[in-house]
Structure 1
Amino acid sequence: MPDQSAFEPPADHPFGPHNLPYGVFSAPAAGTRRIGVRYGDHVLDAGAAAAALGSPHAGLLAEPVLNPLLAAGRPVWDAVRAELTAWLTDPAHRETVAPLLLPLAEVELHLPFEVADYVDFYASEHHASNVGRIFRPDAPEPLTPNWKHLPIGYHGRSGTVVVSGTDVVRPRGQRKAPADAVPAFGPSVRLDLEAEVGFVAGVPSPMGSPVGLADFREHVFGLTLLNDWSARDIQAWEYVPLGPFLGKSFATSVSAWVTPLAALEAAWTRPPERTHALQGYLDDADRADALDLRLEVRINGDVVSRPPFSAMYWTAAQQLAHMTVNGASLRTGDLFASGTVSGPEPDQLGCLLEQTLGKGPWLQDGDEVTLTAWAPGPDGARIGLGEVRGRIAPSPAPAA
């Protein structure tokens, strides 16, 4: 049983009572997967606590994955969050809750939700402009003509979304340098990271019913840090004319923790000034739909970038509105990502492609990339986002 200090994390702890992100864990003694809530450096067995304290939501919290809770909708999300806050902060519950508060270091964390569909966007003007200058140095404008009119995105592969801590095997594929007569095949030699934020859908929508900007918070449960690994050499050869494929689909890493939007009320802010008139379904005038998140990227422990999410041109609400405006349905567990987060300064670039102007060095076997982030919370608190960590494993030798 933890001592009473487990109920009172330091005031500056990024996973204090104002945060309470959700994940899925297993303990060595039991082995079964359980929904957990992070509190300080501990994990609350939420299902067991709900059963012990007679919660009407005990069934949802007893599931081995977050999807049923995600689908339950905002009134249930708010009710469960209020219960969790009381269980962890009200001394009257300590005797019951104490045996269910497990040290984080003693549990195994798993992918917290079943990913339905996965969409990756391209929402940073700074990133898109930098990439345009690298690949189209003679173009009069680094952005493509459509960029300021709609959030550009592509459909990824949900089956290769993995939880933080999973090794990323260096992908193999075709690549062709401009001077090469024919393409070569083998492991990627230009492997890159992409620091992103992913948004997790809860309440689905039927086909033919777009989700408007005002309905974003009714459908989206929360967010997670995300690294959408990129094989730049494979991607450069394959992407014309249909876009990313094997260069992106080999792995996407997400945090083991999903931070509910309810924890981020103090982080909402205005997006950057719009420079082009927007279609009605994307018009966010007078809306504070951007989020003030401060990301940090480390490679082998060394900080290489601190990208600001508040600088993103397109908001998650606009991305969701565009993703569904053609009548596409939204499913519980859908994951859509922001695209690389980059700011205007040299130390705010969210990928090696930008940091090295496309020249490398690139990620080497054994390199470990770690993404962390925080957001402002109430009364000066910091809301931590669960880290995303991945180590590059060598590509396996081809079969004889």
Structure 2
Amino acid sequence: MPPFDVPEGDPFGPHNLPYGVFSPSGSTERRVGVRIGDHVLDAGAAATALGSPYAALLARPTLNPLLAAGHTTWAGVRAALTEWVTEPAHRSLLEPLCHPLSSVTLHLPFEVADYVDFYASENHARNVGQIFRPDAEDSLTPNWKHLPIGYHGRSGTVVVSGTDVVRPSGQRKGPGDPAPVFGPSIRLDIEAEVGFVVGTPSAQGSPVPLGAYREHVFGLCLLNDWSARDLQAWEYVPLGPFLGKSFATSVSAWITPLAALEHARVTPPERTHPLLPYLDDSAPGIEPGGYDLRVSIAVNGQVVSEPPFSTMYWTAAQQLAHMTVNGASLRTGDLYGSGTVSGPEAGQRGSLLELTWNGREPLELPDGKRAFLEDGDVVTLTAWAPGEDGHRVGLGEVSGRVVSG
């Protein structure tokens, strides 16, 4: 089938057009590409062929120059791409610049500046609280409804989908152990998340308000925040996650622009506690900050959970406002994760920690039971969102295989 004859209902049709970076078959050169159906359009070559003013911006080996160009340019590039792939007059010129998705190598689409991860699902936070603090009067910590809790991760270990994840080693100490031991993690887990990619930077000392979210955030992707629960449990007091999280974070090879998700925007869950003004998204002029994303988690090809992103208590706009309210600056390529996406039902939990209730209720998979991940296991996250006229907007999958250290 010709590249632009995308079947009706394809989640990667002209209504979507996510961005990535690829190398054509037989080449190591990295090019900015746009996904259309099961093909990749060489965006830089297309812009050059058509004499576009965006040619220099798109003929690059990474998305960072486009990210830094700002909201007006993002809108202009998207409008141009949409016209290129839908106008029949361009077909003879552009079809040779399309590559079958199966023939290309996909790369990390942008250079990651800083990486921050949040804890924004009330369902996830309550599940974790019930698992580890079963006798507590409230399974949420006292600050949870007042601010988006987060931690700073390690940008250098963010990897693209398809990259093997080496089982990490570190210290662990069980409740009955007399002393810690060193060795490979035996409670390796995943966290199904959505990552938000910052384009336009901000000045240090200048907080980014809720209403400026769309001026700074370019798009989103699926994200798997791999977690070594045994390392994390021993190290996290008093400063939070460290080695249990920093060994790998997998992201999709495709960044979906926010403009493709206009019809997926929803109002977040009702707030149960008054918010300070900088986080108050009920104020006049603040647009709904939630997204209706339907996430699916598969282990070795078996779907084990389908978490709904629409249930997330804290929005991406609130997270951006909170992480800059102290004057911290944004940089082009900053990545921040939503935190584990979990719904209210048992089949909507976003981590094995929750799905197996800390290993006490193992999953039944075709190849055996799983409390936590074993070497050779492959975890794949996929998602889609509702689009215009009943179209689905597909998010690029993120997949990783666990290998021994």
TM-score of the two chains, using structure 1 as the length reference: 0.97
Q: 2-side partners of 1:311 and 1:170: how far apart?
A: 31
Pairwise CA distance, 1:31: 2.0
Partner of 2:381: 371
SS at match of 2:32: strand
Q: 2-side partners of 1:372 and 1:21: how far apart?
A: 14
Name the count of aligned residue pairs: 392
Deviations 1:224-275 (A, max 9, x none): 0000000000000000000000000000000000000000000001000000
Partner of 1:274: 271
Partner of 2:318: 318
Whether 1:55 and 2:55 are equivalent positions in the alignment is no
Deviations 1:73-116 (A, max 9, x none): 11110111111111111001011101001100000000000000
Whether 1:393 and 2:390 are equivalent positions in the alignment is no
Q: 2-side partners of 1:334 and 1:12: how far apart?
A: 33
Q: Within 5 A, what are the aligned runs for 1:19-168?
A: 19-168=16-165
Deviations 1:266-299 (A, max 9, x none): 0001000000000000001164110000000000
Q: Which amino acid aligns with 1:46?
A: A
Pairwise CA distance, 1:11: 1.1
After superposing on structure 2, the runs of 4+ consecutive aligned residues of structure 1 that deviate more than 6 Å are: none
Q: 2-side partners of 1:372 and 1:172: how far apart?
A: 28
Partner of 2:298: 298
Q: Within 5 A, what are the aligned runs for 1:156-195?
A: 156-195=153-192
SS at match of 2:102: helix
Structure 1 regions of 5+ residues with no counterpart?
A: 396-400
Q: 2-side partners of 1:28 and 1:272: how far apart?
A: 46
Q: Which amino acid aligns with 1:340?
A: T
Partner of 2:352: 352
State which drifts further: 118-127 or 8-17: 8-17
SS at match of 1:116: coil
SS at match of 1:173: strand
Q: 1-side partners of 2:72 and 2:177: how far apart?
A: 59
RMSD of aligned alpha carbons: 0.7
Pairwise CA distance, 1:6: 1.8
Pairwise CA distance, 1:30: 3.1
SS at match of 1:77: helix
Q: 2-side partners of 1:349 and 1:77: how far apart?
A: 34
SS at match of 1:248: coil
SS at match of 2:46: helix
Q: 2-side partners of 1:29 and 1:87: how far apart?
A: 26
Q: Which amino acid aligns with 1:190?
A: R
Q: 1-side partners of 2:57 and 2:125: how far apart?
A: 41
Q: 2-side partners of 1:58 and 1:39: how far apart?
A: 19
Pairwise CA distance, 1:29: 3.1
1:210 equivalent among 194, 200, 207: 207
Q: 2-side partners of 1:280 and 1:311: how far apart?
A: 22
Q: 2-side partners of 1:322 and 1:269: how far apart?
A: 20
Pairwise CA distance, 1:46: 0.2
Sequence identity (%):
72
Q: Which amino acid aligns with 2:248?
A: A
Partner of 2:368: none
Pairwise CA distance, 1:27: 1.1
Q: 1-side partners of 2:4 and 2:309: how far apart?
A: 31
Q: Which amino acid aligns with 2:166?
A: V
Structure 2 regions of 5+ residues with no counterpart?
A: 363-370
Deviations 1:205-237 (A, max 9, x none): 000111111000000000000000000000000
SS at match of 1:130: helix
Q: 1-side partners of 2:293 and 2:28: how far apart?
A: 35
Deviations 1:195-214 (A, max 9, x none): 00000000000001111110
Q: 2-side partners of 1:382 and 1:28: how far apart?
A: 29
Deviations 1:14-42 (A, max 9, x none): 10010000000001333200000000000
SS at match of 2:376: coil
TM-score of the two chains, using structure 2 as the length reference: 0.96
Partner of 1:336: 336
